[in-house]
Structure 1
Amino acid sequence: MTSAVGITEIYYSLLDLDDKQKHRYLHQLQEQKPTLYRELMPLLTVEENSHLTELLNFNICSSGNANVDYTNQRIDKYLITHELGRGGMGVVYAACRADRRFEQKLAIKFLHHDMARIFDETMLFAEAQLLANLNHPNIAKVFDGGLHQKQVYIVMEYVDGRNLAELSAERTLNDDEKLRLFCQICSGVEHTHQKGIVHGDLKPENVLIDSEMHAKLIDFNLTQKIERTTTPIFALSKQYASPEQLAGEEVSPASDIFSLGELLKWLFPNQSEGSDIRYIQHKATQLVPSKRYLNVVQLRIDIENILSKHPISLRQKEILYTSRRLFQRHPTSSSLAALLLLGGMIFSSALVGKNQQLAKEKRIAENLVFEVTSMMFDAKSEAGQAMPVNVVLDLTRRRILSNPEIPKHIKQKMLLAMLTPSERTSDNQQVKSQH
């Protein structure tokens, strides 16, 4: 079977081809690699409905309402102050309470005007109500909603900051900052999944970062639970969308996990194959949903493990890796423990060696005693009288010298101990004459 990475690379390479080049390539692929062709085609079905996809990709500048400006206008009980930006779902303005009773900064998003013609406004408000039920520090809070000149708007928490893409362009984030922000994003997505909601359009532009480096999710895909027609409907970014989203299928928590994996690739590009982050990226972006992380909690915990220098779940069976992570967490105590272990091994080895040496010497001595005793007994029984001591000692010395098992220093001690008094006196005289 063709690898998932190969299919993904082919799909994204096709996006850069014109229709003629794409048709030629697919024709060759069908003839040469029919299995790969069949696996790739579901990802390309979205292209058959490109006219609707372009509409619902929410390129607000192409709309007939792009020139509408609500600056300084009063919408219901809110006063619009200035435009904040135009993005995925529509135009976002800064606003405040018109009656000035509460000093509260707000953001009001006016949804794409064409959405009201495609979707019933009741459905849109139902989706907005789902978002209003979310209450998490890493999700921009939804307070209110309404209809103005047949255009749906949503009143949200105002986040004083920039989106993740802008922040990364302005300054270089270190690895720990990226990982902490990613953990916050995962935490927000985790909360939405617990409430039965899928974000459906995770990307750097849909993550706001405030001045205290707190992440806030925005721009949820409000069309995700609305009943589909026979034509697929999207609100996504191709670079971060899961294969099932690109194929026009219904989004699921697994789709968000894939998008989180792509977001992690964006934050940490060109990771080596053996790095923890590369393992996590690969697991989260599997083409088959069931092969990804089972939930965002597992993904978040693995990222937290990198920050705390604990082993990630995907590599806990690697002994050398887990040992290295332990040393990274506790370098001083690990070093002392290693030294103590090494010292204990050396001491134990020395004791074992010494015991083996003593046992060997004991065995040699016992053998020598046995041989001398046997020699004296045999000599006595054959001749009828005891063998002279000097003869016994001479034979014993020869046996000692010829025995290869006896160490040299032991031989010297044994031979010196076996010298007769006359021999010792002769040796001493020789020594004195030499002086």
Structure 2
Amino acid sequence: MDDAQLRRRSALIAEALERDPATLEGWLATLPEEEARAVRRALELQARPDAGNLGGVSADRFAHALAAAVDRGAIPAAHAGDRFGPWSLTHKLGEGGMGEVWKAERADGLYQGAAAIKLLRADVDRHVLARRFAREREVLARLDHPNIARLLDAGLADTHPFIVLEYVEGRTLLEHAAQRKLSTRARVSLVQKVAEAVAHAHGRLVVHRDLKPHNILVTDAGVPKVLDFGIAALLDAEGQAGDGLTRATGRALTLEYSAPEQVAGTATDVRADVYSLGVVLYELLAGSRPHQPKDGTRRSLEYAIVHDEARPLAGSFDASLVAVLARALAREPERRYPTMAAFADDLARWLDARPVTATTPTALQRLLLWSRRNRALSIATAAALVAVTVGLVAAIWLAEQARGQERVAVAALADAQQQALRAKAALARAESESSRAEREAANAQQQAAIATSESDNAKRGEAKALAAEAASRRDKAQAESEAGKAKAVSAFLVDIFQAADPEKAKGEKLTARDVVDAATTELDRRFATQPETRAELQRTLGTTYTSLQRPDKALPLLLAAANAEEAKSGKGSLERARILLSLALAESDAEKFADAVGHYREALPIVEAADGPVAESVALGKVYLTFAQCKVEPNDACLVTSEKLAEDVRARLGETHWLYAEAQNGRATGLSVIGRWREVPGVLRPLEPILLTPPPGKVVSALTIRGNLAISIYRSGDIVGAAARLGPLTDDLAKVLGPDANQTLIHRWYLAEFQRQLGEYRDCQAQNAQLVEVRSRTSGPDHALTIDVLSKAAICARAANDPAAAKAYFDRALAALPEKDVPPQRSVLRALVGLANVAIDAGDLPRATALLDRSQALITALKLETGDEWLMLCALRATVRSATDAPGAAAQLSADFATPTGARTAGSHALKGILSYVLAQAGQSDRAREESATARKLAATRIPATHPYFAVLDHVDAIASGDPAKKAATLAALETAAKRPATLPLAPLWFTL
């Protein structure tokens, strides 16, 4: 079926829905047989089972009862407290042409809930509206979509007909966008969801015909809900008028959002809804509607809608978005999107940075769209291209300035030469006059002296002009050199960028790492004789490697760039200081915290002197310095930098400024590092108003800080609350940055960990399996982060009773481990500890011992003897030792946990549980029961009561009792609760470690 047939078929179905049933068959008989058959089939599809019997009242009985009710006389006015079925009215929300809308609450005690109840108005001609009221109930029953307010119930209370709708707590579309200060992308995303909802209704033969911002509410969670579906298609001229231009006429349309054919009174179909939603999107983006009456009258507005094209979207909007909106707002229906689904699809294409069907993209537009879709690939060149653009502009400006100076110098030289000629002529005249007469000799000599002086002045002017000309030539040469350098960099980056084009990559899927690797490889060859250009690119590529979590590759590039800048401008150079800040960040990522602290302390005073004490560059540098300082010296002194920063920002900018949130986040990070993580929620929670409405460009930072809050809540013991926060945050990060972005993956890693802690092992295994796939693809199969998630996937697979998958992950992780731990990496340490946990659970204690020995060497190299990894290592070592030397294991673990670092175990149900297990095996029954009781109390507030952890503690208590029968029974109960066999000794993963 072509577009023309589809449009005609759609119009016929819409007309059939409007016709009176008594005249329908006669009208169908006038249609060609094939079209009549298609319309009948469509009308049959609208009859859904749930539309026939809702709330115990069938559609037909509802209509007949409603007609009988209005025939019996006036419908009484409603009042607060009136009951309608199980619902009790609380207050009136509003009223329209057909009915009143009240808020109601469930009053039968079955459950608590609110709803919106629509009642037939008592002050209108009820015979005219009764049939339409019944039909609205039937129409709404067909619709079931998350972005459409649902029909919940319908019925008759005495003589009062009512319809119960989902109550939507929220703001209108325009109010929500203004209050949240939504970006263009966020606004388009809301309308795209509305378009999908309306397309769902069109598929069930329901046309809205009154789409406007007032009929679209957005919840606090950002979910749009379309209201009053089917009403506009059912109302007629009897609908009550509104204020100003918002008056219903003819088919109950709201003029400002009506399609031209609606205003003209000609045949309409689903494309009228496309137009109306286009007006909504236009107003949401531009702040005004596409048609404005010339004289402010209704007649003028009607004329503009029918006869004038919609004003193009003005401002700095993307050309593709302008084209999409122009097609939706085309005056003739045949030039619009043929369906609402097509409109929704093009909006989705724009959101995904794919070419839209509304326009044919140019080659440049295709390249730009490609870079938006492949954000990970284009990030490698984005910063450098910006620098190149600025460099080109600056170089061109400098060249123009040099050319201007050259023109001035040449003019000055010509003027000096003219003065010299005049001086020479004067000297000749003076000499001639001197020879004629003796009496004029004195005068001649005087004239000669003057002429000689003028000649000397002219020579000095000529020398100055020559010097100015030389200086201008040097400036010109330097400007041309800068322009040449910028063009060379541009050409280099374009070559590298084009190499990543799938059309030129011979079908291979290239990653951002591939692009940056290629650029780095080519760097020395392309710029061997251009050290300054090479240094600029080294800096750009170094920072890119840092963002790709490859500090090992970032460090040599950034160090080389810093050295080149030092050789060029000296140690006190501002540019060198800025490079050092980037270098320090990469050093922190590489666990070289002492080096990072040194570079931060060297660079920050220089940058602060140039930018100011509360500039963003300085503030973020101090935040990162706090983290590194606390890693090097984990005590209260390391917090001073961030605390002082927070005080400065509060005093100069106020607590509502974004940098205050950054400063407090730095303090919170430091508190977490030094073990004072219970204080972190108290620092971050007051920031939530700022974090929920971040300034432009800070959305990702806000989401990250909110993620830090969720993680701190988890570490404080509220695992359920943390998981509830982190899930939506991770989804938001995936929408903003993409599912493969590093920040998204970090938060998904934590989400998987929360799932493991809560005993949701299958979900944890699935989450980690996805992380393994993405990390292998984006970071590389041998990257430390990939090895880390492989170990976590193996743990969850063991807990989920999938030993085959666990072994596969375990073997992949072992094969990917680096041969030598140079440089030492914390992610590798985490992976080793996780793999040792798996080995113990599988009964392979020799392999576990080898992995723990390597872990201990890494802890020493990384100076993490006071970190969480050391506590985990102690628990794992004690578990292995307990198999052959339970008393020695108990003594060693007790001593480890008695250290200042071990004091942190007081709040860990996992470590307390492991200690109780080791003590019970060593025969220290009283202490074992004491530690078990503490562990049980801690766990009761953190994990579900059905968690196998509690069965583990039952087994520990049985061991402590010395009763073999209890020990055997609790072990069997443990295996039943965990749905998997247990290998002794029980690995720490049984205790959620």
Q: TM-score, normalised by structure 2?
A: 0.26
**Radius of gyration: which is bigger?**
1
Contact 1:83 1:94 in 2 (8 A): yes
Offset at residue 192 of structure 1 (A): 0.3
Alignment correspondent of 1:37: none
Supply the AA of the counterpart residue of 1:234.
Answer: R
Alignment correspondent of 1:301: 345
Supply the AA of the counterpart residue of 1:289.
Answer: P
Deviations 1:252-295 (A, max 9, x none): 21110000110111111153486222211110111211110011
Contact 2:169 2:219 in 1 (8 A): yes
Alignment correspondent of 1:163: 172
Contact 2:147 2:226 in 1 (8 A): yes
Counterparts in 2 of 1:150 and 1:285: CA distance versus 1, 3 Å: farther
Alignment correspondent of 2:86: 77
More strand, by proportion: 1
Higher relative CO (CA 8 A, sep ≥ 6), structure 1 or 2?
Answer: 1
Aligned residue among 240, 247, 250 for 1:233: 250
Unaligned runs of 5+ residues in structure 1 are 1-64, 348-435
Alignment correspondent of 1:110: 119
Contact 1:90 1:111 in 2 (8 A): yes
Aligned pairs for 1:324-403 within 5 A: 324-331=368-375, 333=377, 338-339=495-496
Supply the AA of the counterpart residue of 1:158.
Answer: Y
Aligned residue among 311, 329, 338 for 1:285: 329
Give the Cα–Cα distance (whole angstroms) in 2 for the partners of residues 86 and 191 of structure 1: 26
Counterparts in 2 of 1:77 and 1:251: CA distance versus 1, 3 Å: farther
Give the Cα–Cα distance (whole angstroms) in 2 for the partners of residues 249 and 152 of structure 1: 33
Give the Cα–Cα distance (whole angstroms) in 2 for the partners of residues 137 and 90 of structure 1: 24
Offset at residue 120 of structure 1 (A): 5.1
Contact 1:162 1:209 in 2 (8 A): yes
Alignment correspondent of 1:427: none
Residue 201 of structure 2 is aligned to residue 192 of structure 1: yes
Give the Cα–Cα distance (whole angstroms) in 2 for the partners of residues 337 and 73 of structure 1: 72
Alignment correspondent of 2:133: 124
Deviations 1:192-250 (A, max 9, x none): 00000001110111011112110111013425257999xx7321211101112112345
Contact 1:121 1:152 in 2 (8 A): no
Supply the AA of the counterpart residue of 2:100.
Answer: V
Supply the AA of the counterpart residue of 2:258.
Answer: A
Alignment correspondent of 2:909: none
Supply the AA of the counterpart residue of 1:199.
Answer: H
Give the Cα–Cα distance (whole angstroms) in 1 for the partners of residues 498 and 371 of structure 2: 14
2:257 is paired with a residue whose SS is: coil
Counterparts in 2 of 1:228 and 1:251: CA distance versus 1, 3 Å: farther
Aligned pairs for 1:146-225 within 5 A: 146-147=155-156, 152-222=161-231, 224=233
Give the Cα–Cα distance (whole angstroms) in 2 for the partners of residues 213 and 264 of structure 1: 16
Offset at residue 175 of structure 1 (A): 1.7
Considering only aligned residues, what root-mean-square deviation do their CA atoms show, in Å? 3.3
Residue 280 of structure 2 is aligned to residue 271 of structure 1: no
1:268 is paired with a residue whose SS is: helix
Alignment correspondent of 1:411: none
Residue 276 of structure 2 is aligned to residue 259 of structure 1: yes
Counterparts in 2 of 1:296 and 1:68: CA distance versus 1, 3 Å: same
Residue 107 of structure 2 is aligned to residue 98 of structure 1: yes
Counterparts in 2 of 1:315 and 1:80: CA distance versus 1, 3 Å: same
Give the Cα–Cα distance (whole angstroms) in 2 for the partners of residues 207 and 144 of structure 1: 21
Contact 1:116 1:152 in 2 (8 A): no
Offset at residue 321 of structure 1 (A): 1.0
Q: TM-score, normalised by structure 1?
A: 0.57
2:254 is paired with a residue whose SS is: coil
Contact 2:100 2:121 in 1 (8 A): yes
Counterparts in 2 of 1:319 and 1:143: CA distance versus 1, 3 Å: same
Counterparts in 2 of 1:135 and 1:306: CA distance versus 1, 3 Å: same
Deviations 1:337-378 (A, max 9, x none): 83275899xx9xxxxxxxxxxxxxxxxxxxxxxxxxxxxxxx
- % same residue: 30
Q: Which range moves more in the overlay, 301-310 or 288-297?
A: 301-310
Q: Which range moves more in the overlay, 323-332 or 115-124?
A: 115-124
Offset at residue 111 of structure 1 (A): 4.2
Offset at residue 136 of structure 1 (A): 0.4
2:327 is paired with a residue whose SS is: helix
Counterparts in 2 of 1:331 and 1:207: CA distance versus 1, 3 Å: closer
Offset at residue 126 of structure 1 (A): 2.2
2:233 is paired with a residue whose SS is: coil
Give the Cα–Cα distance (whole angstroms) in 2 for the partners of residues 248 and 112 of structure 1: 27
Contact 1:159 1:208 in 2 (8 A): yes
Deviations 1:85-133 (A, max 9, x none): 3456543211123322232221112244466536352342123211112
Give the Cα–Cα distance (whole angstroms) in 2 for the partners of residues 100 and 93 of structure 1: 20
Supply the AA of the counterpart residue of 2:140.
Answer: L
2:90 is paired with a residue whose SS is: strand
Supply the AA of the counterpart residue of 2:174.
Answer: A
Contact 1:198 1:251 in 2 (8 A): no
Give the Cα–Cα distance (whole angstroms) in 2 for the partners of residues 73 and 251 of structure 1: 40
Aligned pairs for 1:18-57 within 5 A: none
Contact 1:186 1:300 in 2 (8 A): yes
Alignment correspondent of 2:507: none
Alignment correspondent of 2:260: 243
